[in-house]
Amino acid sequence: MIYVIKIKKYIIPILIVLFTICLIVFSSSNLLAAKSGLILWATSVVPSLFPFFVATELLSNTNIPQILGRLFYIFMKPLFNIGGEGSFAIIMGIISGYPIGAKIACDFRKKNILSKEECERLLSFTNNSGPLFIVGTVGISMFGSSEIGFLLLITHLLACFTVGFIFRFWKKNYKLGNNHDIISFESKNTSFSNLGEVLSDSIFNATSTIMMIGGFIVLFAVIISIFKASKLLSTITFIFLPIFKLLHVQSIFVAPLFTGMLEITNGIVAISSIHIKAISTNIILSAFLLGIGGLSVCLQVLSIVSKTDLSIKPYFIGKILQGIFASFYTFIFIQIFPIFNFNL
């Protein structure tokens, strides 16, 4: 028992040392991977997400969450067991993509707009891939089909709402935030007198978040490069091969799927580039990856959640469930609706 505790104590330091050694040993491939990750962040992530981050920060300092709260309370409470203000996190999380939904949930907790339990419920299903990424990047750019993009978007949202409904039972006995908390939040609304200060703070917070995302993208691009260069990815593929055979999934998908479990974009690129007649397999596995988000996104959310008293557990469970439901719904749609069956 004592040896087990000691091993656990040194796992993280050992992994960091191994990572540092691999950076030196595989420096040539790592350099190319880091450049690729940096280009991806600068050319795709920053232009698409940074304006949304600023807009979200600005909207959070208006009475928009309260207005939405009054409009959608009648739906939010029975469906998700969350106050109406939670609709702001759902809408912005769907429109903007990772990790805005989680950031809003954490901001709501910091400002006492919703209770801890309600914010944890929000964490479970509001952190989603945005429609621009799903339809534009995955559907049109990767698969060359807007129909596939819309199919993935529909099943992604259905899975999202399914998880939200399931998590309405998460810590069911709770207390709503009191009126004092909401009033204190409303008093901080944006006006012409403090617009400059609010805009400056919004840009600063958005820049901090986008830089953090960029760091994770570059880091995981290097980690994936190390897995490939060290042949560890091939070993993992060999280990999980029997499971994929049992599920009647071709072995060629194992490595891309594992890559997507680490970083979603690289994984879906690899899956979409596999040319087989039964392309429904590619689509279903892509739906799964879009649902779970990958370890990179999970750590991004963890870095945000760690600044609050919220638990990461609902997010982790929710994303696994969302991946399962998204792939299941995609399979059903392909089987039922001929328009979504792209098999040759």
The answer to whether residue 295 scores a pLDDT higher than 80 is yes
What amino acid is encoded at 287 in this protein? A
Residues 6+ apart with CB under 8 A from 140: 146, 149
Distance separating alpha carbons of residues 152 and 141, to the nearest angstrom = 14
**Is the distance from CB of 7 to CB of 206 less than 8 angstroms?**
no
pLDDT at 178: 42
Distance separating alpha carbons of residues 279 and 272, to the nearest angstrom = 9
The answer to whether residue 187 scores a pLDDT higher than 70 is no
For residue 45, the tally of other CB atoms under 10 A from its CB is 19
- Residue tagged 């429904």 (tokens): 280
Distance separating alpha carbons of residues 302 and 165, to the nearest angstrom = 23
Measure Cα distances from 140 to 143, 145, 237, 272, 276 in Å. Answer: 6, 5, 28, 11, 18
285 confidence band (pLDDT: 50, 70, 90): very high
8 confidence band (pLDDT: 50, 70, 90): low
The one-character DSSP state at 279 is T
Mean pLDDT (whole number) for 275-304: 89
For residue 200, the tally of other CB atoms under 10 A from its CB is 10
Of 74, 70, 28, give the one whose Cα is nearest residue 229.
28
Q: What is the mean pLDDT of the chain?
A: 83
pLDDT at 284: 93
Mean pLDDT (whole number) for 287-313: 90
Distance separating alpha carbons of residues 258 and 289, to the nearest angstrom = 10
pLDDT at 181: 41
**Is the distance from CB of 26 to CB of 223 less than 8 angstroms?**
no
Measure Cα distances from 329 to 56, 154, 283, 323 in Å. Answer: 30, 9, 11, 10
Q: Helix crossing, 280-292 with 146-166: angle to 10°?
A: 40
Residue 135: give the domain boundaries. 2-340
Return the structure tokens found at 72: 């959608």
Distance separating alpha carbons of residues 228 and 224, to the nearest angstrom = 6
Distance separating alpha carbons of residues 219 and 228, to the nearest angstrom = 14
Percent of the chain with pLDDT over 90: 19
What confidence tens digit (pLDDT) does each residue in 111-165 have? 888 888 889 999 999 988 888 888 888 888 888 888 999 999 999 999 999 999 9
pTM of the model: 0.82
Task: Give the range among 28-32, 64-68, 280-284 with minimum mean pLDDT.
Answer: 64-68
3 confidence band (pLDDT: 50, 70, 90): low
What confidence tens digit (pLDDT) does each residue in 78-126 have? 889 888 888 888 888 888 778 888 888 998 888 888 888 889 999 999 9
Of 98, 140, 144, 141, give the one whose Cα is nearest residue 123.
98
Number of independent structural domains in the chain = 1
What confidence tens digit (pLDDT) does each residue in 48-79 have? 778 878 887 788 777 887 888 888 888 888 88
How many CA atoms does the CB half-sphere of 209 hold within 13 Å? 27
179 confidence band (pLDDT: 50, 70, 90): very low
Q: How far apart are the first and last CA of the chain?
A: 56
What amino acid is encoded at 234 in this protein? S
